A = this chain, B = another copy of it.
Amino acid sequence: MQMTRRKLVLVTGMAGSGKTTLSKIVREAGYKVLTMGDVIRELAKQQGLDPTPENIGMLASEIRKEGPDAVARRCIELLKKGYSNELVFVDGIRSLAEVNTFKEVFDVVLIAIHASPLSRYKRLTRRGRSDDPKSWEEFKERETRELNFGIGNSIASADYMIINDDGIDRLEKNFHEIISKVK
């Protein structure tokens, strides 16, 4: 007997492409968003660790040692426990290995968000998180690291592509066009 599987929306995109802004729009539209960070914070809680940047960083490296889809597997555990029948978005997909792991359990829709390298560089230098690039060279190094995870393959395989080079109004419009098709 085959049961209808729950739909899950996965979101992938390079650093600075606008994933955080998109998540905000998704939440405002009434959907749940689970991020990779949530998964690691949950694990910290389980292990009785304070969610300091050091602990979170340490846990993130530890989880990834288990395999390329380890974060995805933790995410699935959380999804099975904590979310009922609502449509959930998972933000921060980094490889097709992760996508395929989610596909074992869910009816997956993969959305990629794209912005040009120049737009992303400008956003990241403006954002200025401690790990954000300070120069074009640092940006290019970070790009290479991210691409080595295989994120390019998940972007190339997206069911829907959202272009985010033209401001937040356009991003919001693009999102609502796509969500009407996804549902």
Q: How far is the CA of A117 from the CA of B163 in the complex (A)?
A: 17
Task: Find out whether the CB atom of A118 lies under 8 angstroms from the CB atom of B157.
Answer: no
Which residues of chain B have C-beta atoms less than 8 A from A14's C-beta? 156
A114 within 8 Å of B by Cβ?
yes
A20 within 8 Å of B by Cβ?
no
Task: Find out whether the CB atom of A116 lies under 8 angstroms from the CB atom of B158.
Answer: yes
Which residues of chain B have C-beta atoms less than 8 A from A152's C-beta? 147, 150-157
A161 within 8 Å of B by Cβ?
yes
A107 within 8 Å of B by Cβ?
no
Chain A residues packing against B (C-beta within 8 Å)? 14, 96, 112, 114, 116-118, 143, 147, 150-161, 163
